[in-house]
Amino acid sequence: MKRLYLCALSITWALWGGWALGEEPVPHGQDRPPGPALEPEEAIRRMRVPEGFRVELVACEPDLVNPVAMTFDERGRIWVTESLEYPRSQAGPGRDRVRILEDTDGDGWADKFTTFADGLNIPSGIAVGAGGVWVANAPDILFMVDEDGDDRADRSEVVVTGFGRHDTHELPNSLTWGPDGWLYGLNGVFNPSRIEQDGRIYEFTCALFRIHPRTRRFELFAEGTSNPWGVAFDRLGSAFVSACVIDHLWHLVETGYYHRQGGAYPPFTWKIESIVGHKHQKAAYCGIHYFDSDAYPPAYRERLYMGNIHGNCVNCDVLVRNGSTYRGEPQLDFLQANDPWFMPVVQKTGPDGCLYILDWYDRYHCYQDANRDPQGIDRRRGRLYRVRYGESPRAFAFDLRQASDEQLIDYLHSPNIYFRDMAQRLLWERNRAETRRKLQGLVLSDQTPFKARMHALWALIGCGPLDADFHAQLLVHHDPALRAWGVRAAGNAGEVAEVVKGHVLACAADASPDVRLQVAIAAGKLRGLDAIAVLVEVLRNSADDPLIPQIVWQNLHPMLELHGEEFLRVARAADLARAAGVASLLPRVCDRLLARRSFDAALAVAPLAMLLEAGLSAEVPARECLRVLAARVQSGEIGGQRRAALQAALEPLLTQILSGPVDRELYLDAALLVASLGDGAGLEAMHQVFASREAPLALRLAALEALVAAREPRVLNAAAAMLAKPADYPLELRRQALATLGRLDDAAVAEIVLAAWPSLEPDLQPQAIELLTGRIPWALRLLAAVDRGEIPASALNLNQVRKLLATQDEQLGRLVAKTWGTVRSERHPDRERVIAQMRRFLRETPGDPHRGAAVFRRLCGQCHKIYGSGQEVGPDLTTNGRSSFEQLLSNVFDPSLVIGAAYQARTVLTVDGRVLTGLLVEDSEQRIVLKVQGGKLEIVPRADVEEYAVSQLSLMPEDLERQLSPAELADLFAFLLLDRPPDDPQARLLPGFQTPEPRQTDDPAQFATLVAEVAPGFHTAGAGEGGVAIVAEHFGRAGVLRTHPISREVPCVLTGRLRVPSGGTSRLAADVSDHLRGDWLLVIEINGQPVHEQIVGPDSTTEGWASVLVDLSPYAGQTIEVSLHNQANGWAWEFGYWGRVELVHTP
């Protein structure tokens, strides 16, 4: 591929960080400039839906503005929350409100608007029911009541409080009534929350929570995903959510812990993955709805419809059963807006059976844009659409509150899910004994259609504990859906009749995986059950299910702290180790037992003994058990008396293995373990394995880890040989081996690595630096080599230097100051100036993407993957964080501007002098686990932690421009700016890099965003003719700022505050130009005093431009006020053109 003109980026630990102060040609996640807003009629005209469908407008501005959440009530009215406060993070009263929309004449258009409540602050979820209106208004979930029927809230109660507001795009949201009568909602990964209720404390981030409407009890239903927004329940009552950044569709079950976008997992978590293997457009989903209505043809029913913000469309997936869970299969988009302002945040079925779509409607889709430019958020628009098929009838006037119970029961048969859901809720709200008996008959009758039967059952469950006789009949019913919900109802009740309990116990061997899944969940909730025995029975019958083993584990492992012996007794009786597929749980059991507070070596090795007794059929899990034991020994978590006890307990088992055939893989794993424990013969064998060119890479690395763990004296000789004979040791082995050597507290490590430095490949040098900055003595030798000029200072990145300073070692501090200069401990406030410089440099400097791929491997690949290569410490850059030029600029050059807690660097100082910095993977009472540069997991036992600190900065250093030469920068970004590998003939440049989009505004609130793109840190309060503009090109320069004096007497003034560095030479640089038909007067003032004045016109410019330099040395070390005047010189074509305004410093 030909050489490319540069582009942007490398990615932050927070995936998308923040961005520059200037308004972007292409906002984040979008592939083109948004352009002007469309009028509602034009927006509808551009939309594309399947044949036979059409989009209708239900409401729009000025009646509907910034809509966030929506629901329907029992009269068919639409309740909407609106937010003008977005993206405000501070709690407290605001200007936001809840509104009721009504269609009073049945024409499909909302013509009555009532404000139910105001004074809110980003109300992000709403539900109507149980006697009032529920509103998510972080930090609270509110319950509002209209006591006099005037559609105004008269009373407001805080039901739950403690939700965070750290990220206002991940607030508690999507309040939705579940089939069980609980109110469900979601919270995001970067919004830490802490709920205290009745002595219970819930600390969480990304989660599906629920609240009981009568008792107000709060529970975490499931945890994980990213910033999910939208909850849907299918015909079986299964819960689904849509999420951003990671996979988009998830089936959530109670007690499950799912893959997280970022942040630590609780100890021993066996995470659950998504149910999709496909992606739709981009990665920003908002809202999900299970549609089931006869207003649409059958091909469009029983589907999940999901809003796609970056794709400006509504996606569709169909659900396919997969054991106890599902698989999502892609369908064609249901709606494509062809309008970058379209932001579908909620989807619901209305009483007419049509899909309703709530549209936030804004130019900005992402939090980077909103946080950078809150004034740029559109606060004047919002739309609500209906997608109608053919001439399907309009909704008739109705009020289900006036319906009798018999009429509500009839509505349970409706082909429209809206009426089934509404009738179900009203029935459990009324909770009448005679109606409950009728509902029981409906559920048990085989003449009742399936959907009506399920809603009748859910209405009964919502009423409260089920009648024991009816409950028992449910649990033996021929329909597995009824049995599954019978088990779930028993678990939620906690206390049930003995006959019910007996049937639940029998369901552990049920033929239906749905039923067994619910038994696994209920086992620990239902009082009087032998939970461990029940879980083992479920596991024994569910070995091949894609979900049940993980749910069993999530409910089992907390019990092993106190009841490990009971589990082993039950497991032996069930012959668990011989059960096909089930034995794979035993290595997890072994790991959990090793971490018990009351350590019992015999108990911890019992799972291994069981697997060995099972013979060849259990060899794979037996090997995994050996690896678990070796990992705990090698990390130092098991030492002293515990280690001696473990070694004694293992001796007969290891002797048994090592007495067998040497060609079994089990033999090698046992040898690795005995070597880790310091056995001489085992150590000798590991030396041979490590040196063998024929041994697999993973085995050679495991051998080295065993040698290091045993502190074998000859390991340093092996390390020296490895670095001296690269032909015998593959690059990947040497890279991982360098990370492993960090556990050796020996000065010789630094000597060996520094001696080998001149011959190390560029791809290996970053790992060597990471190793040498891991201990104070090694770092002193490293910095001494830097001081002697043997290693360039740029070989260390800023975070590695900060890591060294965190040790507070005085000698290290002096050497850092001498070789690196002053290092800030907080985000540098002038990063936007660097971004402006890099924007210009990258657009003007060609780069080679093939050479850039090599730069990526050496530098970025230590922490990032792209196209399948590299380390996955930070996000995979193949699909994340490279949506536009401006996003990449901000992410790489200002990575700490916006950062979620999950991506903040952690630094650990150990008692033996190691210093580690990385992302937190686990923080438990047993250990801290960090993922460090290079991708290695570093495990530090709690007893070895001397200091632990959380940085407010991203783990990605903000000084990439210091680490790379200009040519390397150009090459790297030429590679990263392509959306495919450079050898792919279909590779194209990412949006926004080439010609900047011209923009103009007369709105003073928008002036600063345009000014800052060319003059970072500057703004203007006023401009004359034409306002403020970015022009695509002027005298050969792209992206030029244009201003105009306000009048003959009043100039347009760009003002800003600059911090002038101490030492060296500092100058203010401004490139200015004039209009072909005019000129203007440039006046520059510092602290109110004129320092430069000149006419900008044909006589003072060269090829249209004049470069002005003002010496700032007299102000060194000061913060100064700078004013740049675009002043009239006469009164004809006084436009001022600005190519750059920046502080240039030479040390």
**Three-state SS string across 817-881, please?**
HHHCCCCCCCCCCCHHHHHHHHHHHHHHCEECHHHHHHHHHHCHHHCCEECCEECCCCCCCCCCC
Same domain for 1107 and 1029?
A: yes
pLDDT at 371: 63
287/169 same-domain check: yes
* Cα 110 to Cα 112: distance, rounded to the nearest angstrom: 6
Categorize the per-residue pLDDT at 141 as very low, low, confident or very high, splitting at 50, 70 and 90: very high
Q: How many domains does the chain have?
A: 3
Token representation of residue 1132? 């004809």
- Do the domain assignments include residue 884? no
Residues 204 and 249: beta-carbon distance below 8 Å: no
* Same-domain pairing of 382 and 408: no
**Mean pLDDT rounded to a whole number for the chain:** 90
Does residue 139 have a cis peptide bond before it, meaning omega lies within 30 degrees of 0? yes
In one-letter notation, the amino acid at residue 637 is E
pLDDT over threshold 80, residue 202: yes
Please indicate, yes or no, if residue 904 is contained in any of the structural domains.
Answer: no
Do 448 and 370 share a domain, yes or no?
no
Among the three residues 389, 412, 442, which one is the final residue of a domain in this structure? 389
- Confidence at residue 893, expressed as pLDDT on a 0 to 100 scale: 80
Question: What pTM value is reported for the model?
Answer: 0.81
Report CA 35 to chain centroid distance, whole Å: 29
Token pair, residue 913, equals 């002098």
Q: Are 312 and 340 in contact (CB under 8 A)?
A: yes
Pairing of strands 1080-1086, 1037-1043: unpaired
Asked if residue 30 is part of any domain, the answer here is no
Beta bridge partners of 141: 136, 160
Residue 7: the pLDDT is 27
Better-scored residue on pLDDT, 321 or 246: 321
- Which residues are CB-neighbours of 1055 under 8 A, at least 6 positions away? 1018, 1019, 1020, 1021, 1121, 1122, 1123, 1124
Q: Are residues 71 and 104 in the same domain?
A: yes
Dihedral of the alpha carbons of 759, 764, 770, 774, in degrees to the nearest 10: -60
661 CB neighbour count, 10 Å cutoff: 8
Q: CA 1019 to CA 1009: how far, in whole Å?
A: 8
On whether both 362 and 453 belong to a single domain, the answer is no
Q: Check residue 337 and give its pLDDT.
A: 96
Same domain, 367 and 432: no
Q: Residue 383 corresponds to which tokens in the numbers above? A: 């739309």
Q: Is the pLDDT of residue 17 over 50?
A: no
Length reported for the chain: 1147
Residue 6 has pLDDT above 80, yes or no: no
Residue 1135 above 80 pLDDT?
Answer: yes
Q: What is the CA 405 to chain-centroid distance, rounded?
A: 45
Residue 1104 lies inside a defined structural domain of this protein: yes
Amino acid at 474: L
Q: pLDDT digit string (tens) for 375-407?
A: 667 778 999 999 999 999 999 999 999 999 999
Nearest-angstrom CA–CA distance, 987 and 971: 16
Q: What are phi and psi of 995, to 5 degrees?
A: -70, 125
CA distance 808 to 825: 13
Is residue 500 predicted with pLDDT exceeding 80? yes
Within a domain: 623: no
Q: Say if residues 840 and 829 touch (Cβ distance below 8 Å).
A: no
Name the pLDDT band for 363 (thresholds 50, 70, 90): confident
Residue of 348, 86, 362, 137 lying closest to 231 (CA atoms): 348
Q: Assess whether pLDDT exceeds 60 at residue 9.
A: no
Q: What is the pLDDT of residue 919?
A: 85
- Same domain, yes or no, for 422 and 290? no
Q: Is it the case that residue 25 has pLDDT exceeding 60?
A: no
**Structure confidence at residue 735 (pLDDT):** 86
Statement to judge: residues 341 and 426 lie in one domain:
no
Q: Rounded CA gap, 215 and 195, in Å?
A: 16
**Cα–Cα distance, 756 to 720 (Å, whole number):** 8
pLDDT one-digit tens code per residue, 774-828: 999 999 999 999 999 999 988 888 778 888 888 888 999 899 888 877 766 666 6
**First-to-last C-alpha distance (Å) of the chain:** 38
CA atoms within 13 A on the CB side of 457: 29
In a domain, 592, yes or no: no
In angstroms, the Cα distances linking 1091 to 1105, 1121, 1136, 1146 are: 20, 12, 19, 21
Count, in order, helices (H) and strands (E) of the chain: 33, 47
Q: Are residues 412 and 382 in the same domain?
A: no
Domain at 1004, CATH number? 2.60.120.260
Instruction: Say whether both 274 and 352 belong to one domain.
Output: yes
pLDDT digits (tens, 9 = 90+) for 533-565: 999 999 999 989 999 999 999 999 999 999 999
pLDDT digits (tens, 9 = 90+) for 676-686: 999 888 899 89
Distance, in Å, from the CA atom of 1134 to the CA atom of 872, rounded to the nearest integer, reads: 54
Cβ(400)–Cβ(409) below 8 Å: no
* pLDDT value, residue 30: 54
pLDDT of amino acid 879: 65
Read off the pLDDT of each residue in 583-604 and give the average, rounded to a whole number.
95
Find the CATH number of the domain harbouring 259.
2.120.10.30
**394 lies in a domain?**
no
Please report the pLDDT score of residue 194 as a whole number: 97
What is the Cα–Cα distance from 1066 to 1077, expressed in whole angstroms? 34
pLDDT at 335 over 50: yes
Q: Which of 1-15, 331-345, 887-901 has the highest mean pLDDT?
A: 331-345
- pLDDT of 257 above 80: yes
| pLDDT at 139 > cutoff 90 | yes
Question: Is there a single domain that holds both residue 412 and residue 363?
Answer: no
How far, rounded to the nearest angstrom, does the alpha carbon of residue 8 sit from its chain's CA centroid? 22
Q: What share of the chain is helix, strand, coil (3-state, %, to 5)?
A: 35, 25, 40
Say yes or no to pLDDT of 207 above 50.
yes
- Segment 424-430 shows an average pLDDT of 99
Q: Sorting pLDDT into bands at 50, 70 and 90, what band is 369? A: low
> In the prediction, which pLDDT does 995 show?
58
pLDDT at 209: 99
Q: Which of 568-572, 822-826, 886-890 has the highest mean pLDDT?
A: 568-572
Q: How many whole angstroms separate alpha carbon 128 and alpha carbon 177?
A: 9
pLDDT for 691 beyond 80: yes
What one-character DSSP code corresponds to residue 446?
T
Task: Give residue 292's domain range.
Answer: 42-389
pLDDT on residue 3? 28
Residue 285's pLDDT is 92
- At 321, which helix (H) or strand (E)? strand 313-322
The last residue of one of the domains, among 342, 362, 389, is 389
| Residue 1050 resides in a domain | yes
- Residues 220, 209 contacting (CB under 8 angstroms): yes
Q: Tell me the per-residue pLDDT of 183-192, one tens digit each, with 9 for 90 and over.
A: 999 999 999 9
Which one has a higher pLDDT value, 1091 or 914? 1091
Write the CA distances from 1092 to 1045, 1086, 1110, integer angstroms: 18, 9, 7
| Greatest alpha-carbon span in the chain | 101
Question: What's the confidence (pLDDT) of residue 163?
Answer: 98
Measured over the CA atoms of residue 451, residue 457, residue 459 and residue 461, the dihedral's sign is: negative
**pLDDT tens for each residue of 975-1000:** 888 878 888 877 777 666 765 667 78
pLDDT at 883: 64
